[in-house]
Structures are given as C-alpha cells and as structure tokens.
Amino acid sequence: MLESDESWERLEVRLLPTPELEAGAELTPVLNAFLSELELFTLGPDWSQTGWHELTHEEAVRTLTYLLSETMAYAQPKRERLHARECALAFLALFGPSRRLLSNSDLHTVLLPDGSPPKTGWGYGSGRALTPATFEGGIVVVGAGRIGLLWVTDED
C-alpha cells in the first residue's frame, strides 16, 4: 500500500479500462482521452514530440522507485527504496507483459540501477507537464486492456 503523509506531496494512481491497442496503433488519442478524463493536461497532437519517452520495463521500475522513495524538491527520503521498488513492480504487473510505458521525465537516464540518484551532482529534464505542480513525474502505462498512471507531484 502506498501512502503519502506529507501535505505538499501528491501521489496519484489511476487505472481505467481501455480497448486493446493493435500493433502500430496511434497512441496519442488514447493518452489524451485518458488524461482529459482525469482532468489533467493533455499532450497535444503527438506525444513523442512533447518531450515524452517510451521506456523499457527496467527504466520504468528505476524511475518509479526513485519517485516513490525520495521527494523531488529536496531529495528527502519518503519510504524505503526496496518497498518503493516492490510498489513499482506491483503497479506495472497490472498491465501484463505487452505494455507501453511512457514518461515525461528522462530520470531513467541518470538514475542508478536500484533507482537511487548518482552520488555526484545531477539533474534531469521533463517534457510536457500533466499538472501545474512545480515538480512532477511518473509513468503512464497502456496494456492488458487498461490504461493507468502513477504520478507524483511535489512543491518546494
């Protein structure tokens, strides 16, 4: 179970049914309809042109582990990294093995394999935001007839 005990942190996990996508099907309309239904910002005419990235399973686990284990604004611990990884794996398992994993963040390129940040100075960028939060990131997943997101926001 994931809980957020800080008033400035918002953690969203949403899951809705969606038709199974055919191989090569256009993903942008499905994403925009889902985000609009959740009253989040949409991605425009092409998700891949807005700074979003498609991730591998391990990149998604690494990204979610970090987002669930540390605050984004001040890099303070929120929960044990092992527990965060287990939560990330449980969330991704809801979508079966044939899934598409997308993020507005390039965190996966700088994080260590266990989801921790590098020991030296580091930074990361993010594409089009879904919320008005100062810091935000997460994963949108499509697979197994479902679409869902695990999204974290933070303020400084």
Counted domains in the chain: 1
What pTM was computed for the model?
0.86
pLDDT tens per residue, range 84-104? 999 999 999 999 888 899 999
Q: Domain range for residue 55?
A: 10-154
- Does 1 fall in a domain? no
Torsional class of 7: left (φ above 0), alpha (ψ -120 to 50), beta (otherwise): alpha
What pLDDT does 5 receive?
47
Among 24, 43, 21, smallest CA distance to 34 is for 43
Quick check: helix, strand or coil at residue 108? helix
pLDDT tens per residue, range 33-83? 999 988 999 999 998 888 899 999 999 999 999 999 988 877 778 889 999
- Does 25 fall in a domain? yes
